[in-house]
Amino acid sequence: MENNNTKWYLLAFLGCVWGSSFILMQLGLKGVNSVQMGSLRILFAGLFLIVVGFKEIPKIPLHKWKYIAITSLFGTFLPVYLFALALSKIDGSVSSILNSLTPLNTLVVGLLFFGTMVQKRQVFGVIIGFLGCLILVLFGEGSNTTENYYYALLILLASLFYGINVNLIKKYLSDLKPLTISTGNFIIMFIPAFIVLYFSGFFEIASQDKVVTSLTYIAILGVVGTGLSNILFFKLIQLSSPVFAASVTYIIPVVAIFLGYFFMNESLNLFQVIGASIVLLGVYFSSRK
């Protein structure tokens, strides 16, 4: 019962943190470009994890490092840049809704490549959650999605990478502590992210006031929305199924839409509230075994 309650607490917390991350990304992009923000997000998260988790590094068996590297690529490195680029053209609420394809991708990838056993209720929950997200899209301000559909594809690609990542962690890294996995991931990514940042021209503009302001938002995004949240997400994967863990992406658009309404002057109507309720129902069914 304790594990069952814990997974729901983790799901709710991650949904709130990652739902608010879209606003932080939009604010961060006011001072830096998408490539710079992606690199800075990784570097802030990496510094945080190296400080709190450096003692965990020797605990990673040599043969596990290849999975650490692969999950760092699919779980964080590529999606961070894809989201940063997409958010330069698409509203945060729309991006969060598109990201809700992650549970479906997790389900399909698990069935096709990992031999994952999935319950009918979980499939039903994924379908319900996806329908709820469709309502959010259809009855929201969806103009950005159609006008910039190439950027929307970046979010869809990131959701596929997330689906691959969740299955890899569940199958190959479940015996490691979440802090160990997270620290290993960001040690792998730290130097490549710094190289990308260096060649992005960031250090030529770093002293500008708007850049300094953006760094505050990106630091919060990196430490809380990436570093700490990755640890908790890996714990959620270990406590539950890949499909349930991925269903956090159904909570994210609900949070993002309401925050966008109150803080970013984005729209909210009755149909979106209904869609959000359907999303939550889908999460409930996806958690059943």
**Per-residue pLDDT tens for 264-274?**
666 667 777 78
**Tens digit of each residue's pLDDT (9 = 90 or more) over 191-231:** 999 999 999 999 999 889 999 999 999 999 999 999 999 99
Query: Do residues 33 and 266 lie in contact, with contact meaning Cβ atoms separated by under 8 Å?
Result: no
Query: Do residues 229 and 48 lie in contact, with contact meaning Cβ atoms separated by under 8 Å?
Result: no
Section 2-11 average pLDDT: 82
Exposure string for 40-71, b = 16+ CB within 10 A, e = fewer: bbbbbbbbbbeeebeebeeebeeebeebbbbb
- Residue 137's pLDDT band (cuts 50, 70, 90): low
Residue 13's pLDDT is 95
**Tens digit of each residue's pLDDT (9 = 90 or more) over 141-158:** 554 444 466 787 888 899
Residue 2's pLDDT is 55
Residue 207's pLDDT is 86
Query: Per mean pLDDT, which range of 1-15, 117-131, 186-200 is the poorest?
Result: 117-131
**Tens digit of each residue's pLDDT (9 = 90 or more) over 86-112:** 888 877 767 777 787 788 888 889 888
**Tens digit of each residue's pLDDT (9 = 90 or more) over 26-53:** 899 999 999 999 999 999 999 999 999 9
- Amino acid present at 254: V
Residue 93's pLDDT is 67
Residue 67's pLDDT is 97
Number of domains in the chain: 1
Domain membership of residue 34 as a residue range: 2-287
- Amino acid present at 116: T
Measured CA to CA, the distance from residue 142 to residue 27 in angstroms comes to 21
Query: Do residues 81 and 88 lie in contact, with contact meaning Cβ atoms separated by under 8 Å?
Result: no
- Amino acid present at 72: S
Q: Which residues contact 68 (CB under 8 A, 6 or more apart)?
A: 60, 173, 181, 184, 185, 188
Residue 266's pLDDT is 65
Residue 287's pLDDT is 59
Between 256 and 74, the more confident residue is 74
Residue 234's pLDDT is 94
